[in-house]
């Protein structure tokens, strides 16, 4: 069952929502965060990326960064940039990017569900990134950025949400990246109670984006429970900020790869060895893979279409037949020596939103030798794999549009 609960969001007033909202912390580097927040003292990046307010030589994981985030959150509250709602609510959040529209329910999910496996994962976490999120959440005393979850579609849930979206929204703006954001407050207790019951009948939720934040929320709960002799299970730290979208509305983009060198091979030698596992066709235009098991390869100023040979594809292997696995197991590891893509510094992952232009830029700059464009992993593949408690290779899915930070904060105390 999926346990959800309403909460009293800490959020900006209507007239400040656009200024406060920001992209999530992990889609930018420090320099980009500084640029995005420049001239905007109300940007949520002052909380989610507090290192932008400290000297540039400070390590982003230094304790002073977490303390600065805590101070900045308190200052936002003092100045009225963020105010807490007076009653427990759900919130409805719609995003529009071109022809894509997705509408989700903003709730608090259960740490117990995460620990029991009723919330399904599909990726492993990195210890350093998880530790960073634990400290960030614990110092802030808040979940400041929502986790992106998906659920099986439920007609009655969608009907209730549709009814809410026919009312006047609380926020409605287009962010500087062209994505539209609309938020409604769902405060009707009858509807809230009905949604809780409906979600309790949904067997499980799935992590789409936010494995590190989910794991960190679980660890923060353990830290606080151990320090609280009066722990009852009803404390706010037993749940965490989540937006849940139905599976039929989500958009997964490719998660592409670039590698710094050819592992000692010449271009001709490399192409000859790639032919052992892939059909190779030169292309006069950038290759956007149209089907599963097709790949685009940009090498030495030229594009190629790679089509995996049937001999290297086992459709009965849920993980092995993923395109990210086929590329990893038949090219990146044996030919380029990328045996552990989670830790190898020679590989770079490129979100599909950046397009093939970014792959060309990386290789033409001379910093990388070859780049690969992949066909997106499907929602069906993600759910099937997660239901089997299997783990995808790292960087298998790129969800777009990204949830905006700063529109909802869940206080833990």
| pLDDT of 1 above 90 | no
| pLDDT of 342 above 90 | no
Residue 313 to residue 315: CA distance in whole angstroms: 6
Cβ atoms of 132 and 232 within 8 Å: the answer is no
pLDDT, mean of residues 121-143 = 94
Contacts of 204 (CB under 8 A, 6+ apart): 2, 117, 118, 119, 120, 151, 387
Local confidence band at 308 (pLDDT 50, 70, 90 cut-offs): very high
The rounded percent of the chain whose pLDDT value lies above 90 is: 94
Which residue is listed with tokens 């990046």?
45
For the entire predicted model, the pTM comes to 0.91
| pLDDT of 371 above 90 | yes
Q: What is the pLDDT of residues 60-89, one digit of tens each?
A: 999 999 999 999 999 999 999 999 999 999
| pLDDT of 335 above 90 | yes
| pLDDT of 126 above 90 | no
Contacts of 266 (CB under 8 A, 6+ apart): none
Q: What is the pLDDT of residues 230-243, one digit of tens each?
A: 999 999 999 999 99
pLDDT, mean of residues 291-301 = 97
- At 71 the pLDDT is 98
- At 47 the pLDDT is 98
pLDDT, mean of residues 25-52 = 95
So where are the chain's domains?
4-252+401-411, 255-375
- At 394 the pLDDT is 86
Name the token pair of 5: 């609960």
| pLDDT of 317 above 90 | yes
Q: Residue 129: how many CA atoms within 13 Å on its side-chain side?
A: 13
Burial class (CB in 10 A: 0-12, 13-18, 19+), 311: exposed
Q: What is the pLDDT of residues 50-68, one digit of tens each?
A: 999 999 999 999 999 999 9
Q: What is the pLDDT of residues 146-201, one digit of tens each?
A: 999 999 999 999 999 999 999 999 999 999 999 999 999 999 999 999 999 999 99
| pLDDT of 27 above 90 | no
Q: What is the pLDDT of residues 191-243, one digit of tens each?
A: 999 999 999 999 999 999 999 999 999 999 999 999 999 999 999 999 999 99
- At 14 the pLDDT is 97
Across the chain, what does the average pLDDT equal?
96
CB 90: neighbour CB atoms within 10 A? 26
Pairing label, strands 255-259, 347-351: antiparallel
Regarding the domain delimited by 255-375, which CATH topology (the fold level of the hierarchy) does it fall under? 3.30.1760
Contacts of 157 (CB under 8 A, 6+ apart): 105, 195, 198, 199, 246
């Amino acid at each position: 069952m999926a346990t959800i609960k309403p909460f009293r969001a800490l959020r900006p007033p209507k007239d400040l929502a656009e200024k406060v909202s920001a992209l999530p912390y992990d889609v930018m580097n420090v320099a980009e965060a500084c640029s995005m927040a420049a001239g905007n003292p109300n940007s949520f990046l002052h909380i989610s990326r507090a290192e932008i307010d400290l000297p540039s030589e400070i390590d982003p994981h230094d304790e002073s960064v977490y303390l600065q985030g805590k101070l900045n959150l308190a200052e936002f509250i003092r100045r009225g940039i963020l105010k807490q709602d007076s009653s427990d609510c759900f919130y409805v959040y719609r995003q529009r990017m071109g022809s894509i529209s997705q509408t989700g329910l903003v709730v608090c999910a259960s740490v117990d569900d995460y620990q029991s496996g009723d919330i399904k994962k599909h990726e492993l976490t990195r210890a350093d990134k998880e530790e960073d999120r634990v400290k960030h959440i614990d110092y802030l005393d808040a979940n400041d950025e929502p986790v992106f979850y998906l659920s099986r579609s439920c007609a009655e849930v969608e009907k209730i949400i549709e009814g809410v979206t026919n009312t006047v929204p609380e926020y409605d703006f287009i962010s500087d990246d062209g994505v539209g954001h609309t938020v409604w407050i769902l405060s009707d207790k009858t509807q809230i109670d009905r949604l809780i019951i409906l979600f309790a009948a949904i067997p499980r939720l799935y992590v789409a984006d936010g494995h590190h934040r989910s794991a960190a929320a679980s660890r923060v709960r353990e830290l606080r429970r151990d320090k609280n002799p009066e722990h009852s299970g009803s404390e706010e730290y037993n749940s965490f900020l989540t937006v849940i979208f139905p599976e039929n509305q989500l958009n997964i983009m490719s998660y592409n790869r670039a590698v710094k060198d050819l592992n000692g091979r010449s271009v001709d030698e490399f192409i000859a060895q790639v032919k052992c596992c892939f059909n190779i066709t030169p292309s006069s235009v950038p290759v956007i893979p149209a089907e599963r098991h097709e790949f685009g390869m940009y090498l030495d100023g030229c594009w190629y279409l790679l089509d995996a040979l049937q001999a290297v594809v086992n459709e009965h292997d849920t993980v092995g037949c993923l395109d990210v696995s086929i590329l990893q197991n038949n090219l990146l590891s044996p030919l380029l020596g990328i045996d552990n893509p989670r830790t190898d510094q020679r590989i770079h992952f490129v979100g599909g939103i950046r397009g093939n232009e970014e792959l060309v830029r990386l290789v033409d700059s001379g910093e990388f030798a070859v780049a690969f464009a992949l066909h997106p992993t499907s929602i069906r593949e993600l759910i099937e794999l997660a239901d089997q408690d299997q783990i995808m290779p790292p960087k298998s899915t790129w969800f777009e549009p990204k949830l905006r930070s700063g529109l909802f904060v869940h206080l833990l105390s």
